[in-house]
Homo-oligomer: A and B are copies of this chain.
Amino acid sequence: MTTPRFDPRFTENVINAMGPNTSPRIRQVMGSLIRHVHDFARENELTVDEWMAGVKLLNWAGQMSDDKRNEGQLVCDVLGLESLVDEITFTLAGEAKDAPTATAILGPFFRADTPYRPNGTDIVLTKPKGGGEMVFMHGHVIDFRTKKPLAGADVEVWQASTNGLYEQQDPEQAEHNLRGKFKTDEEGRYYFYCLRPTPYPIPNDGPSGKLLTLMDRHPFRPAHIHILATKEGYRPLTTQIFDRQDKYLDNDSVFAVKDSLIVDFVPLKNDPHASLELEYDVKLVADAVSNDV
């Protein structure tokens, strides 16, 4: 695609400036990055103003980012990069014959300091003003290969409230509202109460919102619950599960939906605390799966 109007040695010169002590991986990744960035500039005959607009947008992303917000990550998300890296990771990991639970992106609203809560807890610490449907979510954590339930596994969940905001975005929500970390019991079960998730727009006030506007795209993510499941000796699993009823399933603003992650919320009877039920089993793969099952 590169036209011969421009110095054909320029890109090689930049790549070849790497010194002998560059690691092989850095040499590969940076060489590839330089080639793609240069091809991108030449193919589009990028102007100085366009390039500077890009620089400003990236600097703006950094300036908006802090402990509670990662705008650089969100810019990647709207370009599909986080979901693509996730797919690559999942593909490379998927050398077992049957795939374990599909993975999905961690997203920018994960908090590393989410507290443990006892099974059965209602994580709706702040009732949403606009109402919301209560869900009893439960399931097992299972060894992908042996199919046996795993006791003592951690299941961490987080979700936005029905106003579309995670607690760290919303001063009206209690700290760690709609988040919790549950340990599976002796039968490998986890269970808690949460909200039926609702679709929400990703934050629109920064460079990712600007990019969406430029690309004439909506900012909505389909309704979902984030899950991070871990157990010593097993590969951590990051995933999201999506409500089959959601109208944004086919056009998630961050491209994270996979068919196998779509779930059904079903009516629940005889529970005064919830009107819906969601059963979801999480399959974990042991760190060193032996090939001779």
A contact residues vs B (CB 8 Å cutoff): 5-7, 10-11, 13-14, 17-23, 26-30, 32-34, 36-48, 50-52, 55-56, 58-65, 70-73, 76, 79-89, 91-92, 211, 214-217, 251, 255
Contacts and interface: CB of A to CB of B under 8 A. Distances in A.
B51 A82 contact: yes
A216 B20 contact: yes
A155 to B, nearest CB: 20
B79 A215 contact: no
B43 A32 contact: yes
B80 A38 contact: yes
17 contacts: A7-B87, A10-B83, A10-B87, A14-B80, A14-B255, A28-B44, A29-B50, A36-B36, A38-B81, A41-B81, A41-B85, A41-B88, A47-B88, A58-B61, A58-B72, A62-B72, A63-B63
Contact of A55 (B11, B17, B18, B70): B70
- Each complex incorporates copies of this chain amounting to 2
Nearest to A207: B62
Q: Which 3 residue pairs of A and B lie closest in terms of their CB atoms, listed nearest first?
A: A62-B62, A19-B216, A14-B80
A88 to B, nearest CB: 5
A45 B87 CA distance: 10
Contacts of A34: 79-80
Contacts of A251: 17
Nearest to A103: B48
Contacts of A61: 58-59, 62
A85 B48 contact: yes
A76 B58 CA distance: 11
Nearest to A94: B5
Contacts of A30: 211, 214-215
Contact of A6 (B14, B17, B32, B91): B91
Contacts of A36: 36-37, 39-40
A63 B67 CA distance: 13
Max count, chain B CB within 10 A of own CB: residue among A13, A33, A63, A84: A84
Given A29-B50, A30-B211, A89-B47, A14 B79 contact: yes
A26 B46 CA distance: 11
Contacts of A11: 80, 84
A84 B41 contact: yes
A65 B62 CA distance: 9
